[in-house]
Amino acid sequence: KLTVDRITEIIYNKIRGQSSSRPFVIAVDGRAASGKTTFAGMFDFPIIHTDDFFRPKNQNGVIEMSEHIGNFDIERFKSEVVNNLKNKNSFEYGVFDCAVGKITDKVTVTPEKCIIIEGAYCLCPLLTEYADLKLFFDISKETQKNRIISRNGLEGYERFSKLWIPAEERYFEHFAIQELCDYVICTED
C-alpha cells in the first residue's frame, strides 16, 4: 500500500517514460469517499468521472441495479470513452445528472499526455484492458462513514450504506478489483 505522494511520483515518472504518442491512461477505482476524485483533481489532466455514466431510472422510477456493476452504464462508457482513448483525436461523452436522472450535458475530452478515469466500476474487466496504470483507493469503514456523513449528511450516508456501498463491494469482490490493480493507496485521515 502506497501514499498519495509516492503514487504521484510514480505517475509522473511513468508519463515521462512513455514512448507512445497516445495518451497515458490512469484508472482510479476504489471505495466511496476514499479520495478518488480529490486525487484525480491534483493533476492538470483531463478527468473522466464514472459517475457521469449512471443509468437513468426505468419507466417505473426505479434505479435498475446490475448484480456486479451497480447502475453503471458499461455499454455507454465503452462506446463513448474506452473506444476513443487510444486515439489522438478529441471525443465527446454525455454527462448523467443524478439530480434530474438523465444526461443533461456533453463534455469534450482533448487528449493530452495523460487522461484520468476516476470512479467505481472503471476497472471492470468487461471493459477490456484500456488503462496503462490501475489504482485502487482503499479506506476503513469508519473513515468512509465519517467522510460520507461530512459530505452528504446522515441521510446521504443512510442511502450510501443501503444501496451504493453494497453494490460497490459486490463489484470489488466479484471481479477481484483490488488484485487487478498495480497499486493500492490507503487514504485514512
Rounded CA separation 129/140 (Å): 28
Name the stretches of the chain with pLDDT < 50.
none
DSSP characters for 128-140?
-S--SEEEEEE--
- What pLDDT does residue 56 have? 85
pLDDT at 189: 64
Q: How far apart are CA 153 and CA 175, in angstroms?
A: 30
Q: Measured between alpha carbons, how far is 24 from 7 in angstroms, rounded to an integer? A: 15
pLDDT given at position 68: 94
pLDDT for res 1? 65
In this prediction, residue 142 carries a pLDDT of 97
Q: Tell me phi and psi for residue 133, to 5 degrees.
A: -140, 125
**What is the chain's mean pLDDT, rounded?**
93
CA distance 77 to 79: 6
- pLDDT tens digits for range 106-136: 999 998 889 999 999 999 999 988 999 999 9
For residue 8, what pLDDT is reported? 92
What's the angle, vertex CA 162, arms to CA 157 and CA 165, rounded to 5?
A: 75
pTM: 0.93
Pairing between β-strand 47-49 and β-strand 24-30 as defined by DSSP bridges: unpaired
